[in-house]
Amino acid sequence: MKFTALIPCLLLLCAPLHAGAGTGDDMTKLKKLGAEVEKDAKFPPVVSYTMKNGLRLLILEKKFVPTVSFTMIFRVGNVDGLPGKTGLAHLFEHMAFKGTKTINSAGFSKEKVLLEKVETAAKAMIAEESKASPEPAKLEELRKALAGAEKAADALIVKDEYWKIYNELGEHGMNAMTSTDYTGYIVSLPSNRLEAWMIIESDRFKNAVLREFYRERSVVMEERRMGESDPNRLMWETLFINAFAAHPYHNPTIGWMDDLKRLTRTDADQFFKTFYAPNNATLAVVGDIKPEEVIKLAEKYFASWKKRPLPERNYTKEQPQKSEKRINVFFKAKPSLRMGFHNTGWGNPDIYGLLMLSEILSNGKTSRFYKNLVEGKQLALYANSGPSTPGDRYPSLFVILAAPKAPHTVEEVEDAILEEIDKLKKEPPTPWEMEKVINNYEASLVRQLESNSGLGMSLASNQQILGDWKFDWKVTDELRKLKPEDVSRVAGRYFTRDNKTIVFLREPDATQAAPPAAPAKGGVK
């Protein structure tokens, strides 16, 4: 969750934004097209337009520099992976850069036949690998068959054409990201490249070709292996595995190795057809453009993208935790801890009290953790917190992460953290502390104002994940409604021992064997 909100002085800074919303004639043209223009001065003058196929456009004209940023967010993340197929959202994000029927291909009609041969060979190899006792000779033969099929298909690949096209167009910051909740694709271009983006991206999301799938799967598997030697990733995985027994938030975004080994291009193609639909996406366009032109070009290039029925996503709800969970992870790294408390998520007004509490505890050098644990008692190297991890679509965790400063221990840091929380339970925060949080929250939008891509990400992700692109701007009102005793109340409700999961990273002593490589689908005890 990005902390952004609008403040009164921002209206003066944003005069070019409101000029961009258009003259009376511009407004009339937009209304004729069926677009809605935000008129409330509390919010940016975003033009909102929904196509018949369900694709939502959020357009903000900014005349600061002659560039435009595009952010396409799909409401699909690792939480949407089927059992046994974790990591598909992340793997498909990699595949989305492999081109289409026309990009990266020297002749798709011939390539399609060769790709089917690759898939047949790969499925045979995976079937043998998945046996309890695979035959080494047969497996080697199947691997050679797959390598041969891939080599034949390679002859019809135009390597990296997708990236070369964007480089020639003058791209900046082209990237993609996968989270538990969503997948996003971003790029910034000179503003005169608007139509070029529409042509390329409409082709990508209508006609993606998952070429080089098994090579890219191997890249992700190597990323998974490398992550197993990362204590930070290991800590987070162990926390989520143990805190979420039923809900799919317990699965890592990169996926489990056992699942990755069995994923096929057929699986990824089905995933694409299920979730990469216009009615599951929001496109934010921010920069030196005319909203009317954006809408007309989107209709020209994206209207043929077919709307699809989306699956139900009422995943198993996590039952209330009724016992404290304490887990030790032994790893050759400096000690640290991760602590999580279940909360009811952004659909419950308590989340704003938890957001306020998190900021009071850990935001900046005037926060309680820094003043008392880091600078005061010098117990901790750092102590941070956040109200909603690993996601925002479903009830999540309030998390606290910290590391002791030698010679202090993780237990001492844990006790000090709980002591600070207990103080807030008994004594509400001061009005000054709460006003500081609100001021910091409001000022953050000013800091983001120069970033077209940052603003686009905020608009699109809030629309897709929380159902309202204005969400960040509305948070200030919710924070201002809070009374000091509300913060103490939510601290008392959620920060209980039976609602806590805590993971300690400890260095193995000389008598211990080397730690296991990584957790399987269960905790590290």
Tally Cβ neighbours within 10 Å of residue 252. 22
Average pLDDT over residues 425-444: 94
Alpha-carbon span 299 to 100, nearest angstrom: 20
Average confidence (pLDDT) over 174-193: 97
Return the pLDDT at 1.
42
Q: pLDDT tens-digit profile of 471-518?
A: 998 999 999 999 999 999 999 999 999 999 999 999 997 555 555 554
Res. 525: pLDDT tops 60 = no
d(CA 349, CA 312): 25
241: pLDDT strictly greater than 70: yes
Average pLDDT, the chain: 91
Task: Select 325-506's CATH number: 3.30.830.10, 3.40.50.300, 3.20.20.210, 3.90.1150.10.
Answer: 3.30.830.10
The architecture (CATH level 2) of 16-104+161-307 comes to: 2-Layer Sandwich (3.30)
pTM exceeds 0.95 for this model = no
Contact at 8 Å (CB) between 5 and 473? yes
**Residue keyed to tokens 């143990």:** 242
Q: Taking 90 as the threshold, does the pLDDT of residue 231 lie above it?
A: yes
- Section 212-228 average pLDDT: 95
- At 443, is the pLDDT very low, low, confident or very high (cuts 50, 70, 90)? confident
User: How do residues 127-170 score in pLDDT, each as one tens digit?
Assistant: 999 999 999 999 999 999 999 999 999 999 999 999 999 999 99
The Cα 470–Cα 475 span in angstroms is: 9
Q: Which DSSP string corresponds to 92-161?
A: HHHHTTS-BSSSSBS-HHHHHHHHHHHHHHHHHHHHHHTSSS--HHHHHHHHHHHHHHHHHHHTTB-TTH
- Which band of pLDDT confidence, cut at 50, 70 and 90, is reported for residue 82? confident
String of DSSP letters for 240-261: HHHH-SSSGGGS-TT--HHHHT
In the predicted structure, residue 330 carries a pLDDT above the cut 90: yes
- Specify whether the CB–CB gap between 193 and 297 falls below 8 A: no
pLDDT score for 267: 97
Helix or strand (DSSP H, E) at 267: helix 265-275
Give the whole-number percent of the chain exceeding pLDDT 70. Answer: 92
Give the pLDDT band of residue 522 (cuts 50, 70, 90).
very low
